[in-house]
């Protein structure tokens, strides 16, 4: 099988690495890829959002499967174009991708499917804002209704901060979603979905805020770990049967059945799981940890999902142990990051390394030097017999990497190790 992976982040680097472990995958292409993928894939230039160019590249490399990583091409309908050209494609249609592209659409789907989620209101104009804010609190959750790369959310007990963020979004012409605050630890559950067939992967937990102890602004994600020692299999089954499957069935009923990776972000509170958000693709940085533990052939799972045969393949098998991903970020991230600084100590490493470095915001200068080229620069993944060992390996590896002004969280997975996560 020849597989074309569309995207350029650490998520796509993780997909490429996992596909390389699949004996049935004879060639992997990454477009536009990044500086770290060149040892594991044939990297080709492409604009991921240009449907005609993606289709042309799929034809050029004779792809048996196209995997679209980022959400923006999916929301823009690139998967539709790829399928229309006759290629198997892992990724939902533009209509189904609205589950992430429009939070209002997602709320409507969840309401129709009877899925628990936060109470919410849409604000379209500044004139509505103050009265709407008065109906929420004492913790305000303010979201951009559209795509915001994980950074369009403010959760705060400061009404003025909530109002400021909402006003900025409205000034930019974006609708605002106000939500009630959901208590309890958050869980990311990835599910392969083929119409009404739902196959869960390992649950993971993302760490969104930039600083230790969940302090500072939200980011695209500063680290994750999997599996979750405090989440039992029965709760995962409940999430699948009461959350993901009803949403998948409702999308089929609406004529936009989902095909690809449906990501449910949930809060596990006293009353049970409640949805924080849905995404239409693999999440970053959770993917890096989850795929590090996958023992099944990834190509088979993705191809079966793309071709409507997911119900016919074996359920995923997993390695024993735990995996931890920690994001190395550039100076000033999540604000405008400093770029162009030299990175040392990365190396390539074996595909089955116990501490693997995946690239996100990197580039290679004309002189061959690896430099930073984005906010989230690298994802370092540690794998161990348990969460403590995985944490030790990832932080030992991070200590060998040098990037001026860079920063990372030191507490990814720590609360679970110390049994401070309560459900």
Give the pLDDT of residue 269: 87
Q: Taken in order 286, 186, 243, 148, is the CA torsion positive or negative?
A: negative
Residue spans per domain, the chain? 2-98, 120-179, 186-312, 322-417
Assess contact for 224 and 288: CB atoms under 8 A: yes
> For residues 350 and 327, what is the distance between their CA atoms, to the nearest angstrom?
20
Strand partners, 379: 327, 358
Strand partners, 42: 29
> For residues 384 and 295, what is the distance between their CA atoms, to the nearest angstrom?
15
- For domain 120-179, give the CATH number: 3.30.1490.20
Domain 186-312 coded CATH 3.40.50.10490: no
Q: Going by C-beta distance under 8 Å and a sequence separation of 6 or more, which residues neighbour residue 347?
A: 357
Altogether, the residues listed in the chain come to a count of: 423
Q: Which CATH number fits domain 2-98: 3.40.50.1450, 2.40.10.220, 3.40.50.20, 3.30.465.10?
A: 3.40.50.20
C-alpha distances (whole Å) from 254 to each of 148, 218, 278 are 25, 33, 17
> For residues 411 and 421, what is the distance between their CA atoms, to the nearest angstrom?
13
Report, in angstroms and rounded to the nearest whole number, the Rg of the chain calculated over CA atoms: 20
Q: Identify which of 60, 80, 56, 59 has the alpha carbon closest to the alpha carbon of residue 68.
A: 80
- For domain 322-417, give the CATH number: 3.90.600.10
CA 217 to chain centroid, in Å, comes to 18
Q: Going by C-beta distance under 8 Å and a sequence separation of 6 or more, which residues neighbour residue 309?
A: 194
Phi-psi region of 7 (alpha: psi -120 to 50; beta: other; left: phi over 0): left
Assess contact for 357 and 329: CB atoms under 8 A: no
pTM for the full predicted model: 0.91
Strand partners, 206: 224
Q: pLDDT 10s per residue in the chain (423 long)?
A: 999 999 999 999 999 999 999 999 999 999 999 999 998 999 999 999 999 999 999 999 999 999 999 999 999 999 999 999 999 999 999 999 999 999 889 999 999 999 999 888 888 889 889 888 989 888 988 988 777 655 568 888 999 999 999 999 999 888 898 988 888 899 999 999 999 999 999 999 999 999 999 999 989 999 999 999 999 999 999 999 999 999 999 999 999 999 999 999 999 988 889 999 999 999 999 999 999 999 999 999 999 999 999 999 999 999 999 999 999 999 999 999 999 999 999 985 444 468 899 999 999 999 999 999 999 999 999 999 999 999 999 999 999 999 999 999 999 999 999 998 866
> For residues 240 and 198, what is the distance between their CA atoms, to the nearest angstrom?
7
């Amino acid at each position: 099988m020849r597989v074309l992976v569309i995207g350029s982040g650490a998520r796509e680097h993780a997909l490429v690495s996992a596909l390389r472990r699949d004996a049935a995958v004879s060639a992997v292409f990454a477009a536009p890829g990044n500086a770290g993928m060149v040892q594991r894939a044939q990297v080709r230039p492409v604009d991921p959002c240009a449907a005609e160019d993606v289709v042309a590249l799929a034809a050029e490399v004779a792809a048996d499967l196209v995997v679209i990583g980022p959400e923006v091409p999916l929301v823009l309908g690139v998967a539709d174009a790829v399928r229309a050209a006759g290629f198997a494609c892992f990724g939902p249609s533009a209509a189904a991708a609205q589950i992430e592209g429009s939070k209002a659409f997602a709320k409507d789907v969840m309401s129709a499917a009877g899925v628990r989620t936060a109470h919410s209101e849409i604000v379209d104009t500044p004139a509505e804002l103050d009265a709407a804010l008065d109906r929420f609190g004492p913790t305000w959750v303010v979201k951009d209704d559209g795509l915001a790369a994980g950074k369009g959310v403010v959760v705060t007990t400061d009404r003025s901060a909530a109002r400021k963020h909402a006003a900025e979004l409205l000034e930019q012409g974006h609708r605002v979603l106000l939500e009630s605050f959901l208590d309890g630890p958050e869980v990311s559950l990835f599910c392969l979905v083929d119409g009404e067939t739902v196959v869960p992967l390992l649950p993971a937990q993302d760490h969104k805020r930039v600083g230790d102890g969940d302090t500072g602004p939200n980011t695209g994600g500063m680290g994750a770990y999997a599996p979750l020692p405090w989440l039992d299999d029965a709760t995962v089954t409940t999430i699948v049967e009461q959350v993901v499957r009803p949403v998948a069935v409702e999308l089929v009923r609406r004529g936009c059945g989902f095909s690809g990776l449906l990501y449910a972000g949930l809060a596990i509170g006293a009353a049970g799981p409640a949805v924080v958000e849905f995404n239409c693709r693999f999440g970053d940085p959770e993917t890096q940890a989850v795929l590090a533990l996958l023992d099944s052939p990834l190509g088979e799972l993705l191809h079966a999902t793309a071709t409507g045969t997911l119900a016919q393949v074996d359920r995923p098998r997993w390695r024993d142990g735990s995996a931890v991903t920690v994001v190395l970020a550039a100076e000033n991230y999540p604000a405008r990051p400093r770029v162009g600084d030299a990175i040392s100590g990365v190396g390539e490493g074996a595909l089955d390394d116990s501490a693997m470095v995946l690239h996100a915001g990197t580039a290679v200068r004309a002189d061959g030097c690896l430099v930073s080229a984005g906010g989230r620069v690298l994802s370092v993944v540690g794998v161990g017999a348990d969460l403590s060992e995985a944490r030790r390996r990832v932080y030992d590896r991070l200590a060998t990497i040098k990037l001026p002004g860079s920063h990372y969280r030191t507490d990814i997975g720590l609360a679970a190790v110390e049994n401070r996560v309560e459900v």
